[in-house]
Structure 1
């Protein structure tokens, strides 16, 4: 029972401390003195446009419908609906017989296993298995709107100065 009382007291103390912090808030003038203005601040150099850019009037669903409707007759036939699936299946169906065997379905994985099995033993040792790890791509930037270019690393700057 005493644990509940101690817990309730600690919660009240935390709430009171938070109340005190939020009443006073951070000092506004000291933040501007600590963070200097960026030299390549794009917003100060370029004026804002007169009007906001217009959004595409088509909705996402209308755009998706238009991608499927290849003959533009405002109707999606069964063949149009499954065209992408047929293309994907045809890429996997290596011998073109209309049937997908396990070997055709897993062709990339089978080739990756064969490439990794350097000693052709039919098994992968730890070092061989490590070669099958997928290559990670760096995350793509979502938006490059007005963001300053990243500054080069100190090593890159010293290389540029030497050249």
Structure 2
């Protein structure tokens, strides 16, 4: 019986709350009119008619891709060949291929991780304690000097 009474009271409160919400007389706030537009003073004196004020240049969305293309085009012939594209990767591969076999074993591929684990495992137990694992944390990147100009 108590559940029915509480349910009835909840229904009445819900209906009265929704009636108040929808019957409110809220209106959009009126904003003051914007200030009049000011005309900026010209940067170049009117005495030299040959000079004109230019609007700031905006970078086109393609300029980023053009820069990336220019970095890949090593001989500046307007084309990226497979040799130009793969050469940096070949150098990185050669650094990892310690035995010069032309293929990477897992140990060669993960050499930095294997070396990092071996140097952190101080007691040579084959597993890392929390203190030893803390030694493998990456170093914080160097912060660039911020120009104060």
- TM exceeding 0.5: yes
Aligned pair 1:137/2:141, yes or no? Answer: yes
CA distance in 2, matches of 1:94, 1:9: 75
Could you list the runs of 5+ residues in structure 2 that have no partner in the other structure? 1-6, 32-42, 45-52
Post-superposition Cα deviations, 1:1-26, rounded to whole Å, max 9, x if no partner, equal: 847x659949x87xx8xx79x9499x
Could you list the runs of 5+ residues in structure 1 that have no partner in the other structure? 26-47, 147-163
1:78-117 mapped onto 2 (5 Å cutoff): 78-117=82-121
Higher CA-based Rg: 2
Normalising by structure 1, report the TM-score: 0.52
Greater relative contact order: 1 or 2 (C-alpha under 8 angstroms, separation 6 or more)? 1
C-alpha RMSD of the superposition: 4.0
Q: Do the aligned partners of residues 87 and 24 (structure 1) sit closer, same or farther apart at CA in structure 2, a change above 3 Å counting?
A: same
Aligned to 2:76: 72
> 1:105 deviation in Å?
0.7
CA distance in 1, matches of 2:123, 2:129: 10
Q: Which runs of 4+ in 1 moved over 6 A?
A: none
Normalising by structure 2, report the TM-score: 0.57
Number of aligned residues? 116
Bigger proportion of residues as helix: 1
